[in-house]
Each structure stands twice: as C-alpha cells, then as structure tokens.
Amino acid sequence: MSKKAVVLLSGGIDSATCLYLAKREGFAPYCLAFDYGQRHLREIESAKKIARRAGAKFLACKIDLPWKGSSLIEPGRKIPGPSRGIPSTYVPARNIIFLSFALSCAEAIRAKAVFIGANAVDFSGYPDCRPGFYRAFRNAAKTGIKNKDIRIFTPLIDKTKSEIIKLGESLGVPYELSWSCYRGGRKPCGACDSCRLRAKGFREAGAQDPLV
C-alpha cells in the first residue's frame, strides 16, 4: 500500500503541481482545502475537480476568522493590483493555520508527509511563503507533535512560475481545472496580483493558459 501524504490544495497552479509531484514520489495523497471566508468558493471547486482527476481523497474544511484582517476576507475592501511590500491580500498567519490543520490530519491518518506548494520567487511577498518560515516551522513541529517522522515538503519554494508550469505540464497537471484569480466569476479578472503572476508564468513558459 502506498505511503500517505496530506497535500494542501488551494486549486491554483502551485498546489495542483505539488499534488502531482506527491503522486510521482509514490505517495497516496489526501487533499485538504479550506473555506476560511474568502470572497468566493471557485478555488475550492477547482481543488475538488483537480483532486478527483488525480484520483486523490479530498476534504474541504470550513474555518472561521472573525477578526478578518485581509482584503480577501473583507467584502468591503478593494483587491489591489501589484504593490510594494506585503499586499492587503495577505491573510494573517494563513499558512501557519493551514499547516497546523495538515499536521493534525497527517497524525490522525498516519501519513508520512505534508506537501505545500509555497513559492518564494514569483509570489506576492507573503512572509509565510518564505524559506525561513518553513525551516522554523519544521523545527517547531518536531517539538509539538507525537509523530516526529512526518516530513513537510515545499518542493516549489525556489522555482519560478514558468518552471512550475513546465514541470506541471510534464506531469500532466490539468491546469484547465485550476483557478488563481482573487476575484470570483466565470473568467479570471487579469488584473489582480495572482492573475498577473499566472500570466507571467505561462508567457515565460511559452505556453497558453487554458483559462484565457
């Protein structure tokens, strides 16, 4: 029987590629997505479809962040375009929260690993996407969980978006099912930071984004 891995699956390019990497490494993926009050559930729908295509188990967890603190979870705030510094779309401690859930799940189902598609090259500058954070989190996790053997993988942390897309294409990742736009709707807005990074990645990879 394949070894289990919990994969944090947002429905975007990076997490979808991470899922297929976990499969290539011989893991049986258990995918987690989160409804944390974001503006739309389009990305969760995409995550579910991607997990189904990959033949992976899928669970969407609903969590509440009543203190808000981000334009992604405050309907009255505007989604910004590219900006300097950490943008308002940063959700306070989001990856810390998600990884904590993933570790809890991994211990409960006796998984050997947690995969997260964090990237610190073509990204919006979020502090919980940087290598230093993951080094510190791994150390903290070893002191705070029973199963010290669970490994946290960040295989895309130092790759450009175009490198991720090329890798995903070689793995057969169904990018036509993915969703990156911070705004909901039938088509990507093309203006938010996530859309711009996605467009840059496909352009530099010499590929056509199937969503546009």
Q: Is residue 211 part of a domain?
A: no
212 domain residue, yes or no: no
Domain encompassing residue 38? 3-205
Write out pLDDT tens, residues 24-44: 999 999 999 999 999 889 999
The tens digit of pLDDT for each residue in 172-189 reads 999 999 999 998 888 999
pLDDT at position 185, please?
A: 81
Q: Is residue 29 part of a domain?
A: yes
Higher pLDDT, 109 or 124: 109
Whether residue 135 lies inside any domain: the answer is yes
State percent of the chain over pLDDT 90: 88
**Residue 114 maps to a domain:** yes
Report whether pLDDT(1) > 60: no
Burial of 144 (0-12, 13-18, 19+ CB in 10 A): exposed
> What CATH code is carried by the domain that includes residue 153?
3.40.50.620
Residue range 103-118: mean pLDDT, rounded: 97
Give a yes or no: residue 124 inside a domain: yes
Residue 210 maps to a domain: no
The total number of structural domains in the chain stands at: 1
Residue 37 in domain: yes
pLDDT at residue 26 in the model: 97
Q: Work out the mean pLDDT of the chain and round it to a whole number.
A: 95
pLDDT of residue 79: 87
